[in-house]
Amino acid sequence: MINSCLCPLVIRGEDKGPEHSRIGGHKPTNRLEIFCVTVKFCQRFRMATEQPKVATEEAKIDLFEDDDEFEEFEIDQEWEDKEEGTDITQQWEDDWDDDDVTDDFSLQLRRELEDNTDKK
């Protein structure tokens, strides 16, 4: 586990660092790098020792919840922010409000209205 934490940081220390770590132009000393790694180690330790029993207690407790909490993206996650989005933006229709009255509902409506005029 420690190796998997150290390696990404060592590689990052060279060229592929996230930009914001390099903006100040300050190169971290070895000890500070180790500190950063240790924090990451702690996170993975926590995740590895997950307490499953917490889940059952959840049901009994009436705490506030947000059903729609956004899932975390990975810290280093960038994705291709091209117009991949256009596919999903083309899923809306604004021309649905047409003059077509040949659907079942409209035909039934017409019958209802005609029925009434006949009854007069």
Partner 1 sequence: MQSEKYSQYVDIMVPLFRALQNYRLGNLVDSYQAFEKSANAFIQEFRNWDSAWALDALHVVAYEIRVLAERADRELGAIGKNPEKLKGAGSFLMKVFGVLAGKGPKRVGALYVTCQLFKIYFKLGTVHLCRSVIRSIETARIFDFEEFPIRDKVTYMYYTGRLEVFNENFPAADHKLSYALTHCNSRSEANIRMILKYLIPVKLSIGMIPKNSLLEKYNLTEYSNIVLALKRGDLRLLRHALREHEDRFLRSGVYLVLEKLELQVYQRLVKKIYIIQKQKDPNKAHQIKLEVIVKALKWLEMDMDVDEVECIMSILIYKNLVKGYFAHKSKVAVLSKQDPFPKLNGKPVGS
Q: Which residues bind partner 1 (CB under 8 A)?
A: 18, 20-21, 23-26, 28, 31-32, 35-36, 38-40, 42-43, 45-46, 49, 51, 53-54, 57-58, 60-75, 77-79, 81, 84-89, 91-94, 96-97, 99, 101, 103, 105-106, 108-110, 112-113, 116
What's the DSSP call for residue 104? H
Which lies closer to partner 1 via its Cβ, residue 3 or residue 89?
A: 89
Which lies closer to partner 1 via its Cβ, residue 3 or residue 20?
A: 20
> In whole angstroms, what is the distance from residue 98 CA to residue 94 CA?
10
> In whole angstroms, what is the distance from residue 120 CA to residue 116 CA?
7
Minimum CB–partner distance for residue 52 and partner 1 (Å): 11
Minimum CB–partner distance for residue 8 and partner 1 (Å): 10
> In whole angstroms, what is the distance from residue 36 CA to residue 7 CA?
12
CA 113 vs CA 3, 39, 97, 108, 110: distances in Å = 78, 73, 21, 9, 5
Which lies closer to partner 1 via its Cβ, residue 3 or residue 81?
A: 81
Minimum CB–partner distance for residue 79 and partner 1 (Å): 4
Side chain identity at residue 60, one-letter code: K
Minimum CB–partner distance for residue 75 and partner 1 (Å): 5
Tell me the CA end-to-end span of the chain in Å, nearest whole number: 86
